[in-house]
Amino acid sequence: MGMGYELAVKQALVVSIVLGVAVAGVEPSKKMMRLRQVPAMYVFGDSTLDVGNNNYLPGEGVPRANKPYYGIDLPGSGKPTGRFSNGYNTADFVAKTLGFNKSPLAYFVLKAHDKLIPSAITRGVSYASAGSGILDSTNAGGNIPLSQQVRLFQSTKAEMDATVGPGAVTSLLTRSFFLLGVGSNDLFVFTTELAKQNRSATQSDIAVLYGSLISNYSAAITELYELGARKLGIINVGPVGCVPRVRVLNATGGCADGMNQLAAGFDAALESLLAGLAAKLPGMAYSLADSFGLAARTDQLAAGFVNADSACCGGGRLGAEADCLPGATLCADRDRFLFWDRVHPSQRAAMLSAQAYYDGPAQFTKPINFKQLAQAQE
Ligand X SMILES: *[C@@H]1O[C@H](CO)[C@@H](O)[C@H](O)[C@H]1NC(C)=O
> Which range binds ligand X by CB under 6 A, 96-104, 252-260, 281-289, 294-302?
252-260
Contacts of 102 (CB under 8 A, 6+ apart): 51, 88, 92, 95, 96
Task: Tell me which of 101, 137, 155, 272 binds ligand X, using CB under 6 A.
Answer: 137
Closest separation in Å from C-beta 315 to ligand X: 22
Q: How many Å apart are CA 286 and CA 338, to the nearest integer?
A: 27
Q: Which of 45, 168, 51 is nearest to 101 (CA)?
A: 51
Closest separation in Å from C-beta 109 to ligand X: 25
Count each helix (H run) and each strand (E run) in the chain, helices first.
13, 10
> Which range binds ligand X by CB under 6 A, 117-125, 160-168, 211-219, 331-339?
211-219
216 binds ligand X (CB under 6 A): yes
What is the distance between the terminal CA atoms of the chain, rounded to a whole angstrom?
Answer: 37
Closest separation in Å from C-beta 277 to ligand X: 16
Residue ranges in 113-181 assigned as alpha helix (H): 116-122, 146-164, 166-175
Catalytic machinery residues: 47, 341, 344
200 binds ligand X (CB under 6 A): no
Applying the rule CB under 6 A, the residues between 170 and 199 that interact with ligand X are 197-198
* Main-chain dihedrals φ then ψ at residue 275, nearest 5 degrees: -60, -40
* Main-chain dihedrals φ then ψ at residue 223, nearest 5 degrees: -65, -45
212 binds ligand X (CB under 6 A): yes
Closest separation in Å from C-beta 338 to ligand X: 17
Q: How many Å apart are CA 25 and CA 2, to the nearest integer?
A: 17
354, 355, 361, 365 alpha-carbon torsion, rounded to 10° = 30
Q: Residue length, the chain? A: 378
Which lies closer to ligand X via its Cβ, residue 100 or residue 188?
188
* Contact assessment for residue 324 and residue 339, using Cβ atoms and an 8 Å cutoff: no
Q: Which of 235, 236, 94 is nearest to 176 (CA)?
A: 94
Query: Is the bond leading into 367 cis (omega within 30 degrees of zero)?
Result: yes
Applying the rule CB under 6 A, the residues between 219 and 238 that interact with ligand X are 219
> Which range binds ligand X by CB under 6 A, 10-18, 27-35, 102-110, 253-261?
253-261
256 binds ligand X (CB under 6 A): yes
> Which range binds ligand X by CB under 6 A, 23-31, 55-63, 249-257, 308-316?
249-257
Closest separation in Å from C-beta 254 to ligand X: 2
Which lies closer to ligand X via its Cβ, residue 7 or residue 249?
249
159 binds ligand X (CB under 6 A): no
| Residue nearest ligand X, Cβ-based | 254
Closest separation in Å from C-beta 92 to ligand X: 28
What residue ranges bind ligand X (CB under 6 A)?
A: 135-137, 147, 197-198, 212, 216, 219, 250, 252, 254, 256-258
